[in-house]
Homo-oligomer: A and B are copies of this chain.
């Protein structure tokens, strides 16, 4: 991708107007992206979610399903994203008592012409929003933070990992 070598916002056409970038000439390669994020909450909110989870697992289960389904809506939400035939999406949600809160990690995979970072980021975002929604009755001050791409592979620009 010329993306990396020239500092130009590739979604802007020559005259500066928005357009979906042409990816027709890119090769079909296996592309994977991982993204993370977290929801910070009161310790007692986390305890309530985990206790519920011990019984029927619905907060975490519902948030995971919402995140997976949202990955498939990415091109309908982000104006200049290409519609993609994702071959895999997964979402992991882990409690972190030090935060305190829940940490979310999503993976998206595709054999295709364009990267899947946005799909992984959208999965993380909607998973976090769903956690917020299901716990907001007991904790209005929750905050969603740290949404970023962790790693991506595939495509002309090769593998990339976030410096941490």
Contacts and interface: CB of A to CB of B under 8 A. Distances in A.
A81 B80 CA distance: 20
A4 B64 CA distance: 26
A118 B133 contact: yes
A82 B86 contact: yes
Most buried by B among A56, A128, A152: A56
Interface of A: 1, 3-4, 7-13, 15-24, 30, 37, 44, 48-49, 52, 55-59, 61-62, 64-66, 68-70, 72-73, 75-92, 109-113, 117-118, 121-122, 125-126, 128-130, 132-138, 140-149, 152, 160, 162-163
A11 B65 contact: no
13 contacts: A9-B134, A11-B59, A12-B58, A16-B55, A16-B58, A23-B87, A37-B144, A66-B79, A69-B77, A69-B79, A79-B130, A82-B87, A122-B129
B141 A148 contact: yes
Contacts of A83: 72, 83-86
B147 A162 contact: no
Contacts of A12: 52, 56, 58-59, 134
A57 B61 contact: yes
Contact of A143 (B11, B19, B65, B146): B146
Nearest to A61: B61
Given A44-B7, A62-B61, A147-B145, A15 B78 contact: no
Nearest to A124: B144
